[in-house]
Amino acid sequence: MQATSKEKVLKKVRKALIDQSPELYPGLDFKKNIYNLPEGGDKGMDIAFATQFAASDGKFIFCENTTAFVNSFESVAQENNWKNIHTQEPNIQRLLKEAGMAFTSEESAMEQMDAGITYCEYLIARSGSIMLSSRQVSGRRMATFPPAHIVIGYSNQIVMHVKEALNGMKLRYPRLPSLITTITGPSRTADIEKTLILGAHGPKELYVFLLDKDISQ
């Protein structure tokens, strides 16, 4: 009796299970990271982040403490002639107030701001990216409205890969924010003639002030 097509297939499956081919690449470690360290990665994640961030036209400033941050920020603000500084973060408002620096916090003042200050969720060393979410006090608009976006981050927010940041977000927020996004350098676009234009769809300048100590609490 001639075997049916189904029987022929099952026979081949049984034969394949009995006569298994040897592994072509035995001992492979599927959990090992396949990516090389980014430039500066051998010196620490903070150096790796700073290197990649600067490569994307971001401006990185390390501050040992809040006093150093206030002094550095005041200097940058004067250099850029920022008259209207906006932040909705209470702790940043407190620092600026103690330093005698003028700022606005009302939503109605957002259209006039020269620079906006926010915190971040994570800093991603591999790409020099900043992770933000809609759960932050500053919400969605502060990443796109100001001509200059100032981000305050701290050392324990730096992770190597975006996957680690997303895992951290899942632990931090049982119900994930409606928006989780990463930004890498200032807003940019290219026109038909391939001319790079900064600030076309958002901030023209992007700063990260990295502090050792968390001041967001």
- Domains of the chain are 44-211 (3.40.50.10420)
Residue % of the chain over a pLDDT of 90: 59
Alpha carbons 128 and 132: distance in angstroms, whole number: 13
Element (H, E) at 78: helix 66-79
- pLDDT for 194 beyond 80: no
Per DSSP, helices labelled H in 60-207 are 66-79, 90-98, 162-172
Residue 110 neighbours by CB distance under 10 Å: 17
- What's the pLDDT at 130? 97
| Among candidate residues 94, 100, 181, the one with its CA nearest the CA of residue 133 | 181
Average of per-residue pLDDT values in the chain? 85
- pLDDT for 67 beyond 70: yes
Give 200-215 pLDDT, tens digit per residue. Answer: 566 889 999 999 866 5
Report the length, in residues, of the chain. 217
pLDDT band at 111 (very low <50, low <70, confident <90, very high): confident
Entry pTM: 0.78
